[in-house]
Amino acid sequence: MELNEKQMMVTDEAGNDHLVNILFTYTNEERETSYVVFYEEGNPEELIAMKYNEETKELSDIEDDEEFNEVQEVLDAFLEQSEPEEE
């Protein structure tokens, strides 16, 4: 699986391919771990966050609570920054 700036193909557990849109990516330098947050076309309300291994080009689940909480904080900050300002 290759990441490009906007989209990637993800294969689910049943072997079905899904074209998804990438919301953002980031790397935790201390952990040397990259993360990607994405959503399926037509379903932008359901965001999915996963680890991304740069070497193998594979996604994996975030299983550690500390990592998950960090990703949630980064996502919240991203969404807050991307909200249009109210007048």
* Count of other CB atoms within 10 angstroms of residue 1: 13
Please tell me the distance from the alpha carbon of residue 17 to that of residue 83, in angstroms, as a whole number: 31
58 in a structural domain: yes
50 in a structural domain: yes
2 in a structural domain: no
Domain count, the chain: 1
Please tell me the predicted confidence (pLDDT) of residue 68: 95
Q: What is the CA radius of gyration of the chain?
A: 14
> How high is the mean pLDDT in each 10-residue block of the chain (87 residues)?
74 91 94 94 91 91 95 94 69
pTM over 0.95: no
- Cα distances from 48 to residues 12, 23, 71, 85, 86, in angstroms, run 13, 10, 11, 25, 27
